[in-house]
Amino acid sequence: MICVSIGRSRHKHLLAEYQELVKRGAKLVELRIDYVASRLNLQRLLKDRPCPVVITCRREEDGGKWQGTEEARQMVLREAIALQSEYVDIEDDIAAKIPRYGKTKRIISYHNFRHTPDDLIEIYDRLAALDADVVKITTMAQNPHDNVRMLEMVKQAKLPTVGMCMGDIGTPSRILLAKYGGPFTYATFHHERVLAPGQLSFDQMKDIYRYESINADTEVFGVIADPIAHSLSPHIHNAALAEQGINAVYVPFRVPADSLGQFIEDVPKLGIKGLSVTIPHKETVFKHGIKATPAAKGIKAANTLLFRDGESIGCNTDCTAAMDSLELAMGGLGQKPSPLQDKRVLLLGAGGASRAIAFGLKQRGARTVIASRTRDRADKLAAEFGAKSVEWQARHTVPADVVINGTPIGMHPNVDETPFNRSYLKPSMLVFDTVYNPESTLLIKEARSHGCHVVTGVEMFVRQAGLQFNLFTGQEPPLETMRATLKRVTGPVK
C-alpha cells in the first residue's frame, strides 16, 4: 500500500487534494497538519473522510513546519486520537506522553536527516517497545549500502515496520519496501512538491513502479549511474515488464564511483537479477569481479550486467543496437557484407557510447575518423579500433558518408546546441544522433532540412533496452510499447 503525504497551508486545499487522491486510487493518506498555516480545524479535516488517514504534526527538527509550542502540538495529536483517526504518527521521544485510546493505531517514528546509524536494529527495538502498532524509521542515505541495511532491518522486524532511506541514493528503499514486508511506503501528491528528500510521487509509485504489485517474489532489475535522476530507463523497462505480465520491478540505483564495489557485493542481498549500466560505470565495472562477454571485452565497456548462478557477467547491447539502427536506415539490416563496409564515417565523441559504436564500425569494415573535444581521448580510441583521429576543430574537414554524434551535445536542456555545423551537411549523408532526449535534436532537425537520411537516438535507445530486456527475462521485448513510452516521457517533437 502507498501512503500519500499531503502538506498544504489551507484546509480547503488539503481537502481538495485528499478527495483527488482517493479518486486516483489512494487507499491511505497522510495529512501533514504542521503545514496548515491558518487556525487548525482537525474535526473539519477528519469528518466524512473518504479513506483512512495518518495524522502527522512534525517539528522543525524532524523536517516539519510546526510553528506553535510543543504542548500545543501534542494536544493536536491527542485530538486526532480522540477523533478516531486511523493512524497517528508519534515521535519516539514523546510516545510515553501520548496515551493509546480507542482504535487509533500508533506509528512510532524516528527521523535522522544526517545519516543512517549503525544501530538500526537497536533503534527498532527501542521504538517497538513504545506501544507501537507500526514502527517507522527514516534516515538519510550516505551510500547505497544504507538501503540494504534498512531493508534487512525491515525484513527481520516482528512488528509492521516502515523503513526508508532519504535522498536520491535512498529512493530504492522506498520502492522495494513491499518486497521486504513493509506495510506501506510513502509518496507525495506531486513530484514537484516532495515533503522529504528522495520522495517519489503517488503517480510515479503507482504507474511507473507498480508498487502495489510488488511482493516477496518480485524480481529486481535496475540501472546504476551517478547521477541517476535523468535516466528514463525505469519508464521503458517497467512498461515492458507490465506489458508482458512479469512479476518484476526495474529500480534506479544512484551508485557513486567509490561505492560501486560494495554495491556489486550487495547485489545478492537485494535480489537483483540484472542491471543496466551507464555513466560513470561502463568501463570500471570490470574491476569488481565481472566477467566480460566477447563483445564487452572487445569494447572494454559493459552497459548490462547479469547475475546468474553465482556468476556476474558484463554484456554490451549498445553496439548491436547502434549497428542495427544504422544498417536498417541503409536498407541492409543483416546483410553480408554490411552496408557500412568502406563507408566514410565521422564519429563525434570518445565516451562510452562512442566506444561501442567504434567497435561495431571496425567489425563492419567502415573507414572511421574520430573527433573529440579532448584530443587525447580521440587518439586513444582511434588507436584501439583502427580508426583515425582529428582535432575537434577539424571535424568539418572530414569527408563523410555517415556522421554520428556520440556526445551529449544537444541533450535536454541544452537543446539549442549542435555538434556539427549545418553548413557542412549534405543530402547524401546519413546523420545519426545518439541523443534521445529530445528525439528531434537540433542536429536531427537541421539534417532533415538539408535532405539527409537520419537515425534518431530513440531508435538506438529502444533497441539496446530491448536487447537488455531479453537478457534479463528471456522474453522478446515489446519494442513498440517501449518506443511509445520513451516518446511519451520525452514529450512531443517540436
The phi, psi pair for 390, rounded to 5°, reads -140, 165
Question: Which residues are catalytically annotated?
Answer: 111, 136, 282, 318
Contact of 216 with 176, CB cutoff 8 Å: no
What is the 3-class SS of 348-390, one letter each residue?
ECCCHHHHHHHHHHHHCCCEEEEEECCHHHHHHHHHHCCCEEE
Segments of the chain assigned to CATH 3.40.50.720: 320-455
Q: What does the pLDDT look like over 210-245, one tens digit per residue?
A: 999 999 999 999 999 999 988 999 999 999 999 999
Task: Work out the angle between the directed axes of helices 457-473 and 318-329 (0-180°, nearest 10).
Answer: 130
Question: Can you give the pLDDT at residue 34?
Answer: 95
Question: Can you give the pLDDT at residue 492?
Answer: 59
Q: Does the pLDDT of residue 323 top 50, yes or no?
A: yes
Segments of the chain assigned to CATH 3.40.50.10860: 242-316+462-490
Question: Can you give the pLDDT at residue 191?
Answer: 74
CA atoms of 368 and 342, how far apart (whole Å)? 9
In terms of CATH, what superfamily is 2-215?
Aldolase class I (3.20.20.70)
Q: What does the pLDDT look like over 369-386, one tens digit per residue?
A: 999 999 999 999 999 999
What is the 3-class SS of the chain, one letter each residue?
CEEEEECCCCHHHHHHHHHHHHHCCCCEEEEEHHHCCCCCCHHHHHCCCCCCEEEECCCHHHCCCCCCCHHHHHHHHHHHHHCCCCEEEEEHHHHHHCCCCCCCEEEEEEEECCCCCCCHHHHHHHHHCCCCCEEEEEEECCCCHHHHHHHHHHHHCCCCEEEEEECCCCHHHHHHHHHHCCCCEEEECCCCCCCCCCCCEHHHHHHHCCHHHCCCCCEEEEEEECCCCCCCHHHHHHHHHHHHCCCEEEEEEECCHHHHHHHHHHHHHHCEEEEEECCCCCCHHHHHCCEECHHHHHHCCCCEEEEECCEEEEECCHHHHHHHHHHHHCCCCCCCCCCCCCCEEEEECCCHHHHHHHHHHHHCCCEEEEEECCHHHHHHHHHHCCCEEEEHHHHHHCCCCEEEECCCCCCCCCCCCCCCCHHHCCCCCEEEECCCCCCCCHHHHHHHHCCCEEECHHHHHHHHHHHHHHHHHCCCCCHHHHHHHHHHHHCCCC
Query: What's the start-to-end Cα distance of the chain, in Å?
Result: 39
What CATH architecture applies to the domain 320-455?
3-Layer(aba) Sandwich (3.40)
The CATH code of domain 242-316+462-490 reads 3.40.50.10860
Question: Can you give the pLDDT at residue 299?
Answer: 95
Segments of the chain assigned to CATH 3.20.20.70: 2-215
Residue found under cell 537488455: 468
Q: Span 3-28, mean pLDDT? A: 94
Contact of 467 with 317, CB cutoff 8 Å: yes
Question: Can you give the pLDDT at residue 440?
Answer: 95
- Convert 278-293 to b/e letters by CB count within 10 Å (16 or more is b): bbbbbbebbebebebb
Mean pLDDT of the chain: 95
- If pLDDT is split at 50, 70 and 90, which confidence band does 494 have? very low
Q: Does the pLDDT of residue 109 top 90, yes or no?
A: yes
The verdict on pTM exceeding 0.85 is yes
Question: Can you give the pLDDT at residue 490?
Answer: 87
Map residue 85 onto helix, strand or coil: coil
pLDDT more than 90, % of the chain = 93
- If pLDDT is split at 50, 70 and 90, which confidence band does 279 have? confident
Q: What does the pLDDT look like over 150-199, one tens digit per residue?
A: 999 999 999 999 999 999 999 999 999 999 999 999 999 987 777 778 89
Of 183, 147, 179, 302, residue with least CA distance to 248 = 179
pLDDT more than 70, % of the chain = 99
Beta strands (DSSP E) in 128-190 are 134-140, 161-166, 185-188
Q: Span 339-368, mean pLDDT? A: 96
